[in-house]
Amino acid sequence: MTGPLVLGIETSCDETGVAVVEGFTVRSSVISSQVDDHARFGGVVPEVAARAHVEAIRPLAHQAITLAGIHPNDIEAVAVTRGPGLSGALSVGYSYAKSLAYSLGRPMYGVDHMEGHLFAPRLSFDGYEPPAVVLLASGGHSQIIHVKRWGEYEVLGGTIDDAAGEAFDKLARFMGLGYPGGPAIDKDSDGGDPEAVQFPRALRDRPFDFSFSGLKTSVITYLEKARDADELPARNDVSASIQEAIVDVLVAKTFNAVESTGVEIVGAGGGVLANRRLREKFAEEADRRGVGLFVPEPALCTDNGAMIASVAVDRISDGVPGDDLFGDVDPGLALGS
Ligand code: KG4
Ligand code: ZN
């Protein structure tokens, strides 16, 4: 399937991502990760992120264009993350996108980062179509969305405190597993017993909402007590149990929404969907209920430019014009509002 050739840029947090898509086919997608720059601080430092994007963006854009086998003049539109995210980081990508669009004489589309995650499965699958329920779980956001049509979203629920990725990150930090915490706990839980410790599953009475701050307190209290009693369990048992507690509620609440809306399509995106146990549990549950599950490959779950470009592809096919080049980033942008 072909479609417009769009260059997509993502710089909302700690990965610089540039990609070229043709319709919903990825022609190239490159990432420059800043993980090493932030790791020694134990989390993302906004100034460090903005500077790293400045250094990475131009060579990365060239690389994406070269790998796609196109000439810059072939680009039909430029897409860029407008928010939510870190304002300095967003501004780097946004300014670069503006100048590129202006110099090429092509339209520029500012995209909601979370809508990018919501669109990512379109790059991997046919058949991912509304009406659908989509779980978005990243470092800053955790939401369950009822997609009525592309562009029409009802937020059914979300976290009332920490995002799922944030819970992984904070707990990994407490356990000394490093940053980013999600991949660290995912890896550390290998061979661990997910039933070893029963950590709480919060908000049972709110079918579509999450809360992860109680889990954090409970893990910290548990580990401190165990340490004082000199009865510390195997670390991989604790990691597997934490992971299971987070995964359990993400899956249960997504399927509560599937049941309540009656949709037959379930999608998911955001960095946390790279988690192996979450992917496995999602697949089991979708299978059991006979609904279609659309979770893209891990590289399209974490931040990337292709998902941003894919939103512009949809806008272009709807005849939506590009944005005013005098516009600006919106660090607090929220889906469905
Ligand atoms: O979507 P994303 O790449 O960036 C944001 O938009 O925030 O998500 C990053 C989050 C981080 O919190 C990271 O720890 C988490 O996704 N993450 C994971 C895994 N890989 C990344 N969480 C659990 N398991 C993973 N394998
Ligand atoms: Zn993201």
| pLDDT attached to residue 42 | 85
Query: Closest ligand 1 atom to the C-alpha of 276?
Result: 26
* Higher pLDDT among residues 178 and 67, named by residue: 67
Going by alpha carbons, the residue nearest to atom 16 of ligand 1 is 271
Query: Closest ligand 1 atom to the C-alpha of 113?
Result: 6
| pLDDT attached to residue 1 | 57
Ligand 1: residues within 6 Å at CB? 13, 138-140, 165, 168-169, 180-183, 186, 270-272, 274-275, 302-303
The encoded tokens of residue 141 equal 């956001």
What span, in angstroms and rounded, lies between the C-alpha atoms of 228 and 218? Answer: 15
Identify which of 9, 42, 330, 267 has the alpha carbon closest to the alpha carbon of residue 134. 267
Average pLDDT over residues 254-264: 98
Query: Closest ligand 1 atom to the C-alpha of 163?
Result: 12
Query: Closest ligand 1 atom to the C-alpha of 138?
Result: 8
Q: At 286, is the pLDDT very low, low, confident or very high (cuts 50, 70, 90)?
A: very high
pLDDT by residue (tens digit) across 44-62? 999 999 999 999 999 999 9
Q: Which ligand is nearest to the CA of 301?
A: 1
Q: At 337, is the pLDDT very low, low, confident or very high (cuts 50, 70, 90)?
A: low
Q: Is 145 helix (H, G, I), strand (E, B) or coil?
A: strand
Q: Which ligand is nearest to the CA of 271?
A: 1
| pLDDT attached to residue 2 | 86
Query: How high does pLDDT run on average in the chain?
Result: 96
Q: Which ligand is nearest to the CA of 243?
A: 1
Residue written as token pair 């997504």: 254
- Rounded to the nearest angstrom, the distance between the alpha carbon of 173 and the centre of ligand 1 is 14
Q: What order of strands is seen across the sheet that includes strand 77-83?
A: 25-33, 15-22, 5-10, 77-83, 108-112
Going by alpha carbons, the residue nearest to atom 2 of ligand 1 is 271
